[in-house]
Amino acid sequence: MEFGTELQQALLSPWGLGLLGLCIGSFLNVVVHRLPLMLEQQWRAESAELLGIENKDEGAPLSLSRPRSRCPHCGHQIRWFENIPLVSWLALRARCSACKAPISARYPLVELFTGVLLAAVGWRFGAAPTTLLWCGFAATLVALAAIDWDTTLLPDSLTLPLLWAGLIAATLGWTLPLPTALWGAVAGYLSLWSVYWLFKLTTGKEGMGRGDFKLLAAMGAWLGWQMLLPILLGASIIGAIVGIAMKLSANLREGRYVPFGPFLAGSGVVVMLAGQQRVLGWIGWN
């Protein structure tokens, strides 16, 4: 894994990765918006087939690349120069060029956040090709956090490839020693699986989704079993604070719960950027 050194240094510098992050953030906006709709469409088709009834979905199936993005208000097809990360939103003054309907600030914020995050990954891991793996890990966590926040779903089509990628990267010697990654995945899955069943058997309720097990398993595969407890601690504390704050401000709709995935993902990102030694120091283990 070596290519032209100066070009490599420039592309993998925090600035290079920050620019890459803006573009990836733009793509993540599409994933976060469409993946839940694609899953819903797929579930409807499967249920209809199972029940032997007619599927009322019309038109071509939705995918990440088709149809082209449109303004949800007027259907105006978004042209390439209206789709430049950050710049277009500012140039359009946060409004659709055709109907002037406001465009949510969330789109540029996801782009900016992903840009800053990948720049931080570049700063943390240096200009090595394996830094791109960590960029992929971080970007997938952003998508999962946003989808879970919106829909309380953590799609298998993101968590499972993330888990496999972590195990394969460790096997190829690019990230962690393989046993650290493998036991991280196993313990990550089993720890939340046991909390889930303990909670369910004692209260009869489901305290978290099954996607949370797979997400923590994936983070174990990337960050190692030693980081599971710090990740869980961080996610629980921040999750509890946000949950209480939302209850107090009555922002939480009746019968809905605060998803755990965004806090797991956030905690994982902090652990990745801080590094194992520093994190173990925080919790007094070294």
Binding of Zn ion at residue 93 (CB under 5 A)?
A: no
Q: Are 95 and 103 in contact, with CB atoms under 8 Å apart?
A: yes
**Closest distance between Zn ion and the C-beta of residue 88, in Å?**
14
Which residues have C-beta within 8 Å of that of residue 92, sequence separation ≥ 6? 82, 103
User: Which of 37, 64, 74, 233 is close enough to bind Zn ion by CB under 5 A?
Assistant: 74
**Closest distance between Zn ion and the C-beta of residue 105, in Å?**
16
**Closest distance between Zn ion and the C-beta of residue 238, in Å?**
37
Q: How many residues bind Zn ion (CB under 5 A)?
A: 8
Which residues have C-beta within 8 Å of that of residue 73, sequence separation ≥ 6? 96, 99, 101
**CB closer to Zn ion, 34 vs 76:** 76
**Closest distance between Zn ion and the C-beta of residue 78, in Å?**
9
User: Which of 45, 64, 99, 240 is close enough to bind Zn ion by CB under 5 A?
Assistant: 99
Helix axis angle, 131-151 to 261-274, nearest 10°: 160
Candidates 133, 145, 173, 110; CA nearest to 272 is 133
Q: Is 103 left (phi over 0), alpha (psi -120 to 50) or beta?
A: beta
Site residues (CB under 5 A) for Zn ion, limited to 53-72: 71
Binding of Zn ion at residue 210 (CB under 5 A)?
A: no
**Closest distance between Zn ion and the C-beta of residue 103, in Å?**
9
d(CA 175, CA 135): 13
Binding of Zn ion at residue 105 (CB under 5 A)?
A: no
Site residues (CB under 5 A) for Zn ion, limited to 238-267: none
**CB closer to Zn ion, 98 vs 116:** 98
User: Which of 73, 79, 200, 278 is close enough to bind Zn ion by CB under 5 A?
Assistant: 73
User: Token match 């995935």: residue?
Assistant: 261
- Using CB under 5 A, list all residues that contact Zn ion: 71, 73-74, 76, 96, 98-99, 101
